[in-house]
Each structure stands twice: as C-alpha cells, then as structure tokens.
C-alpha cells in the first residue's frame, strides 16, 4: 500500500489530498476562488496565483492533520506541474518540491490532464486500459485513447473554444456568474431546448474535432434579439453542446475499439451530458464510466491518484522538473489552431 500527498493549483481551485493505492481518499480539502474572480467574469491569473500562495500551505496542514499522518509517513508528493496558468502552477509544484526535498520523498510532477484522465479509475477498480476518453474542461475539449499510464493518443481536439469555455461565455451573456456551467445547467431545467435555433458546429464533419465559437456568437445574437426567455436560451445552448459532444464522440467510437467510454473534466459534472454519453456508450455496446461530479471539477485527489498510478509504474521526477503552461498529453499530436492553454 502506498500513500500519496497530492497538490493542485493550476487554475482557480486550491487543493490538497491524501490518497492511498487501495483507492481511499483519506483526506481532501478544496478551496475555490469564485468570489475573487466573479467581478471580472473569468479567472484573473495574478489574483489566482496570489490566492494559492496564501491558501495551499494551510490545506496541506489540514489534510495531514485530519489523517493524523506526518510527512514522513507518506510515500511520495504528487504536484500538478502543468498545463495551466503558470503563476498558479508554480505554487503547488514548488510547495511539492519543498516537501519532497525536506522529507526525502520522491516528487511526481503530474500533468493536470492526466489527473482528469485517470480520475475514473480512482472510483472504479474495474475500469481497465484502454478506454476512449472525452476530456471536457474549462481549457480543453479532446477525445483521447487512454492506453495506459502516460500513454495517450489524441483523436480530436477543439479548433477554437473548449466546452467549459463555451458554457462560461454563454453564461456571461445570460448574466450568470463565473464559472457558468452550473448556472446554465440550473437555468436550463426550466427552459425549452427546442425554443432557440442554434448551430451545431462541425456536426457531421469527417474528423471528430470540436468547435464552439459559432455557438457562442449565435447565443449572443439570440440574447440581443430580445425574442427569447433566458431559460430557453440556456436549455437550447446546453442541448446544442450535448449534440456536438455526442456526434463527435460517436465518430471517435467508430474509429476506436476501446471497450469503454469515459467522460472526465469539469464539464462532465453536467447531468445532461452524462446521460447523453451514457446512452451513446450503450448504443455502441461499450462500458461507460464517469467520475462523481465532485471528482470532475479540479481537485487534488485526482492528482494524488495520478501519483499513485505513476509511482506504481516507477515514473518519478527530479527536483528540477519544469512548470509548464502548455503540456499536451499526446506530444505527437499535431497542434490545432486555437487549442487553449488552460487546464
């Protein structure tokens, strides 16, 4: 049995967690910064980085205290090393290096996207490799074949906005607070998904890439027209995103013989998206897995779990591991215009 301390600070959530190799989340603390960024309608990197500096040490003390463990009793420190807002990334990475150095423990520099990608295995012991992963977060929208720890093949990505970014921009247009996903989901419950005609960018195209910028512009026009109720716009927007995700994932399923479909990342917290992809997997005779909503949005338990998996594969890092703003999971995939740097 190994016990890993995980640290996360790559965007606007500060988090520390202790996770063991027998899939126990021994302790976890997450502090969001929504109130600090809300006046700006999005994450302000400088504010986020400063907040991580203030919050993270207290969270490390808290989880160790709750678990009644000293740093000498853990097996390794896993810290997010990218991709993300670089000022924030540096906070958890340097904290992790300091702890690893002081305690003489291995450091594991975790790719935040690998944290999302492996998170379903933390709660689902039967989910083996390979699986097809739809990774939908504030900064990414990708389809990846997960072949093993550290082994990823990207099948598709977004050519403009990420799925979460689309939710956040549509929410802003509807006067909802940042982050926009939860607000749109709630508002959509009382709206008609067929009320507003909205485009489905790239649906039907021969490569499984994504595009959401045109959808945002259409929402902007719908709001400006004054013709529609806000809840109808929210419901129609969410429905359009679901259609795009399902159509693109269907194409990727046709091209992959992976026995399971997995959805992860903050947008996977959305119930309409979870249900639609579960139905798609069923239709294709694939197993379906999605982490619980609290494990979809940014957290250190997924980073600690990636640490468990990497340590088991003897993938540890030196103390000079770099902080990376950009860090694709599949380094061989061609760069696509507009792919974001946020995680």
Pair 40, 111: CB distance under 8 Å: no
By CB under 5 A, the count of residues binding Zn ion is 3
Tell me the closest approach of the beta carbon of residue 220 to ligand KG4, in angstroms. 17
Is 6 an interacting residue with respect to ligand KG4 (CB under 6 A)?
no
Could you give the CA distance from residue 310 to residue 64 in angstroms, rounded to a whole number? 21
Is 343 an interacting residue with respect to Zn ion (CB under 5 A)?
yes
Q: How is residue 172 written in tokens?
A: 């802003």
Please identify which residue in 12, 13, 298, 309 interacts with Zn ion, judged by CB under 5 A.
298
Residue 57 burial by CB count (10 A; 0-12/13-18/19+): exposed, middle or buried?
A: middle
Tell me the closest approach of the beta carbon of residue 154 to ligand KG4, in angstroms. 17
Task: Look at residue 309 and give the partner it binds from ligand KG4, Zn ion, none, a contact being a CB closer than 5 to 8 Å depending on partner kind.
Answer: none
Q: Which residue has the tokens 């520099």?
A: 109
**CB of 201 or CB of 266, closer to Zn ion:** 266
Could you give the CA distance from residue 197 to residue 301 in angstroms, rounded to a whole number? 40
Q: Residue 319 has what DSSP assignment?
A: T
Tell me the closest approach of the beta carbon of residue 13 to Zn ion, in angstroms. 8
Is 266 an interacting residue with respect to ligand KG4 (CB under 6 A)?
yes
Tell me the closest approach of the beta carbon of residue 148 to ligand KG4, in angstroms. 22
Backbone CA torsion sign across 108, 109, 112, 117: negative
Please identify which residue in 80, 119, 137, 142 interacts with Zn ion, judged by CB under 5 A.
137
Strands 3-8 and 13-20: antiparallel
Is 269 an interacting residue with respect to ligand KG4 (CB under 6 A)?
yes
Tell me the closest approach of the beta carbon of residue 52 to Zn ion, in angstroms. 14
**CB of 185 or CB of 232, closer to ligand KG4:** 185
CB contact burial 230-253 (16+ within 10 A = b; e otherwise)? bbbbbbbbbbbbbebbbbbbebbb
Task: Look at residue 157 and give the partner it binds from ligand KG4, Zn ion, none, a contact being a CB closer than 5 to 8 Å depending on partner kind.
Answer: none
Q: How is residue 254 written in tokens?
A: 């046709």
Q: How is residue 130 written in tokens?
A: 């390979």
Tell me the closest approach of the beta carbon of residue 11 to ligand KG4, in angstroms. 5
Applying CB under 5 A, which part among 93-101, 135-143, 147-155, 163-171 lies near Zn ion?
135-143
Residue 18 burial by CB count (10 A; 0-12/13-18/19+): exposed, middle or buried?
A: buried
Please identify which residue in 131, 167, 288, 327 interacts with ligand KG4, judged by CB under 6 A.
167
Tell me the closest approach of the beta carbon of residue 150 to ligand KG4, in angstroms. 19
Could you give the CA distance from residue 141 to residue 265 in angstroms, rounded to a whole number? 9
Is 265 an interacting residue with respect to ligand KG4 (CB under 6 A)?
yes
Please identify which residue in 14, 33, 249, 270 interacts with ligand KG4, judged by CB under 6 A.
270
Give the binding site for ligand KG4 (CB under 6 A): 11, 137-139, 164, 167-168, 179-182, 185, 265-267, 269-270, 297-298, 342-343
């Amino acid at each position: 049995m190994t016990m890993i301390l995980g640290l996360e600070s790559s965007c606007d959530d500060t988090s520390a967690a202790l996770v063991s190799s027998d899939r126990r989340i021994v302790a976890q603390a997450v502090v969001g910064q929504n109130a600090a960024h809300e006046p700006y309608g999005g994450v302000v990197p400088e504010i986020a980085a400063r907040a991580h500096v203030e919050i993270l040490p207290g969270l490390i003390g808290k989880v160790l205290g709750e678990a009644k463990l000293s740093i000498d009793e853990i097996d390794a420190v896993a810290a997010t090393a990218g991709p993300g807002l670089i000022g924030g990334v540096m906070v958890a990475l340097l904290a992790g290096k300091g702890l690893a150095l002081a305690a003489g423990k291995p450091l594991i520099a975790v790719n935040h996207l690998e944290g999302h990608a492996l998170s379903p295995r933390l709660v689902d012991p039967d989910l083996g490799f390979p699986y097809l992963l739809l990774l939908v977060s504030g900064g990414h929208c990708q389809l990846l074949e997960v072949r093993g720890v550290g082994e990823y093949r990207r099948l598709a990505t977004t050519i403009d906005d990420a799925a979460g970014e689309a939710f956040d921009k549509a929410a802003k247009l509807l006067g909802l607070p940042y982050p926009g996903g939860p607000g749109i989901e709630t508002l959509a419950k009382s709206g008609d998904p067929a009320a507003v005609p909205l485009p489905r960018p790239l649906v039907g195209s021969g490569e499984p890439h994504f595009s959401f910028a045109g959808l945002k512009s259409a929402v902007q026009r719908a709001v400006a027209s004054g013709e529609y109720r806000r809840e109808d716009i929210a419901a129609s927007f969410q429905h359009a995103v679901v259609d795009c995700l399902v159509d693109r994932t269907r194409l990727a399923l046709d091209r992959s013989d992976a026995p399971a479909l997995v959805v992860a990342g903050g947008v996977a917290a959305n119930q309409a998206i979870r249900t639609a992809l579960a139905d798609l997997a069923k239709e294709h005779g694939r197993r379906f897995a999605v982490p619980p909503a609290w494990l979809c949005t940014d957290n250190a338990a997924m980073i600690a779990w990636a640490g468990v998996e990497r340590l088991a594969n003897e993938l540890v890092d030196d103390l000079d591991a770099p902080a990376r703003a950009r860090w694709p999971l599949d380094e061989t995939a061609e760069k696509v215009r507009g792919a974001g740097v946020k995680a």
